[in-house]
Chains A and B, each alone.
Chain A
Amino acid sequence: MDPLLVVDDLHVEFRTDDGVVRAVNGLSYMVDRRETVAILGESGSGKSVSAQAIMGLIASPPGFITKGSVRFEGRELLTMAEDERRKVRGADIAMVFQDALSALNPVFSVGWQISEMFRKHRGASKKEAKKSAVELMELVEIPDATNRYRSFPHEFSGGMRQRVMIAMALALDPDVLIADEPTTALDVTVQAQVMQLLENVQAEFGMGLVLITHDLGVVAEQADRVVVMYAGRAMEKGTIDEIFDQPHHPYTEGLMNSIPRLDDLNERLNPIRGNPPDLLRIPSGCAFRPRCPYQQPDCAEVEPTLEFVGDSGRSTACHHWRDAFGE
């Protein structure tokens, strides 16, 4: 049986007046049912663009998918006719956006927006759609759902809005849910609730979850596997325990070291030196080279590809991982 969602060697670039911005450069990963894959990276690492490419939301021009493939249950999405593609969105693969206030239409009530999913895609009557929408609002733990049905997005708190977004994404019972920084705009306490909710609905619906985030804490609690992205490339892939216990890429190690420690308040923060690369001018060879404490002359010449570390399926894109991190 085909895996649920396979992203294979995805390349996305934006042709701007200043030059070609290579946002995603050969990203590959897969997600299966009941599995959570976290795409971890800082802003500009290409993680959101890769999600938009999967959904077919990249405006072209200026964006172009130049290479690679995205397969859902074995069907290629990138070459699919727009009409077919639209049916995949929402019903097979759904997406939750970062800022739920701007991702909800301000002029319609949230109940109307959720029930619209049932009316337009499932042909439900107004009454049925309303009933389903209220059930869904209860499922995502919105208190007093029957009355809140009529409320507008701006009348909700941030956490509640994100629940509404999740409810809309779940309406058509998708097989894959892509959550693009779902908790970034929220308070820390509310973040935990929304992440818990995502975990609950994943268990209930049995879908594959792609969690896009820059937050190591979010990744640690939720993900089965992690893809660490930098400059549009996967730097390291592995299970959550492998990545956290022993990073095998200098960038991952830098991320781990930059987490503030609660048990040692006097310690200074230990950030990664330098800045993320300008995607118009990605360094030759390894993109992380200018910031890497382990760099060698050959790093500038050959771009490292992902190579397996051990036999667990874990991989890293570093020429010198053996010297730096041992076998």
Chain B
Amino acid sequence: MTDLETLDSADQGAIEDEDLAAIREGSLGSDAWRELRRRPLFWICITIIAVLLAMAAFPQLFTSLDPEAQDQRNGLMFPSREHWFGTDLFGRDVYANVIYGARVSIVIAFVVTTFCAIIALIFGSLAGYYGGWIDSIISRITDVWFAIPGVLGSIVMLQMFETRNIATLSLALIVFSWTTMLRLTRSAVLAVKHADYIDSARALGATDFRIIWRHILPNALTPLLVYMAIFFGVVIAAEATLTFIGVGLQKPSISWGLIISDSRARIQTHPYLLLFPGAILSMAVFAFILLGDLLRDAFDPRQR
């Protein structure tokens, strides 16, 4: 036995020193982080997103002008040193409007993404984990719902509301877009469900809730996280689209969709009215979708 013990510690030491670097690579999370950290695109995304979040939280930091202050004598001015993005018909500063417009986009995208993820986590994991009739009911409802065209559904639903604000717009988007996340979560849970550590946890007396919450979800979350980043960008675009065609937010709200909608009549004479808010909107959508793509690549070793 003494021999064995010496062997044990010697063997142990050898493994520790030699293979520690190799062994550490096994962790998906740290591996993904190392992969992301050295990609410039990732840092560009993060910077854009950080600026957007700062705009949404503290617009005063970016402009001292009041977005609603009218100055009719200085209406429709081209970009200048005083008005970086020019002014609109009523002389309001377009730059200030764009800055203040970030808040509703971010809030709606956050609310919609969060609620869809919660629905997906609860029902997707129930369907994936329990299978059988629970899965049949949840999956069939999801399939049927999935077949409804989302934008059309949202338009029809929004037309039934008398007042349209952040809450109703978010609701209309949630109702027609939770399905993809649920399907993703369900299939991720299905993939993890048969892992040995699930059996092992059950063999040591874990409850179903504990198995789902502590053992399945943390291991099945990656595809959902990736999709959430992409979805965040998609919701920003969807909010602007619905607002632009007139079923989304209404004045006096300040939103990118509304600014772009206002610019419609003067696109030929004053293109900057569309150009700047349009560019910011596209950049925001682009940053989130790109972040999702980068996350997916980083988490999927086969893509490398």
Contact = CB atoms under 8 A, between A and B. Distances in A.
Given A99-B196, A192-B4, A57 B210 contact: no
B112 to A, nearest CB: 27
Interface string A144-162: 0000000010110101100
A94 interface: yes
A196 B1 contact: yes
Nearest to A121: B205
A107 B29 contact: yes
B8 interface: yes
Interface string B110-142: 000000000000000000000000000000000
B207 A89 contact: no
A189 B26 CA distance: 24
Nearest to A54: B203
B204 A89 contact: yes
Contacts of B29: 107
A104 B200 CA distance: 8
B4 A196 contact: yes
A52 B205 CA distance: 13
B202 A143 contact: no
Given A106-B219, A190-B11, A193-B8, A94 B197 contact: no
A225 to B, nearest CB: 23
A139 interface: no
Nearest to B24: A155
B204 A97 contact: no
A120 B210 contact: yes
A120 B214 CA distance: 12
A193 B9 CA distance: 11
A91 B197 CA distance: 18
Nearest to B201: A105
Interface string A296-315: 00000000000000000000
Interface stretch (A29-37, A164-172, A270-278): A164-172
5 contacts: A88-B205, A94-B204, A106-B219, A169-B204, A189-B4
A55 interface: yes
Contacts of B61: none
Given A57-B202, A90-B205, A155-B24, A97 B8 contact: no
B157 interface: no
A105 B27 contact: no
Contacts of A168: 200, 204
A87 B210 CA distance: 14
Contacts of A140: none
A89 B200 contact: no
Contact of A95 (B11, B195, B204): B204
Interface in A160-190: 160, 165, 168-169, 171-172, 189-190
Given A86-B205, A89-B205, A90-B205, A103 B23 contact: no
Nearest to B25: A154
A189 B196 contact: no
Given A86-B207, A90-B204, A97 B219 contact: no
Contacts of A192: 4
Interface residues of A, number: 42
B215 interface: yes
Nearest to B200: A103
Interface of A: 52, 55, 57, 86-91, 94-95, 97, 99, 102-108, 116-117, 120-121, 141, 143, 152, 154-155, 157, 159-160, 165, 168-169, 171-172, 189-190, 192-193, 196
A169 B199 CA distance: 13
B20 interface: yes
A157 B200 contact: no
Contacts of B12: 143, 157, 160
Nearest to A157: B15
B271 interface: no
B167 interface: no
A104 B199 contact: no
Interface in B1-55: 1, 4, 7-9, 11-12, 15, 20, 23-24, 26-29
Interface string B165-199: 00000000000000000000000000000011101
B203 A55 contact: yes
Given A57-B199, A103-B197, A105-B214, A143 B9 contact: yes
B83 to A, nearest CB: 51
A95 B219 contact: no
Contacts of B1: 196
Given A103-B196, A107-B219, A193-B8, A154 B203 contact: no
A196 B1 CA distance: 9
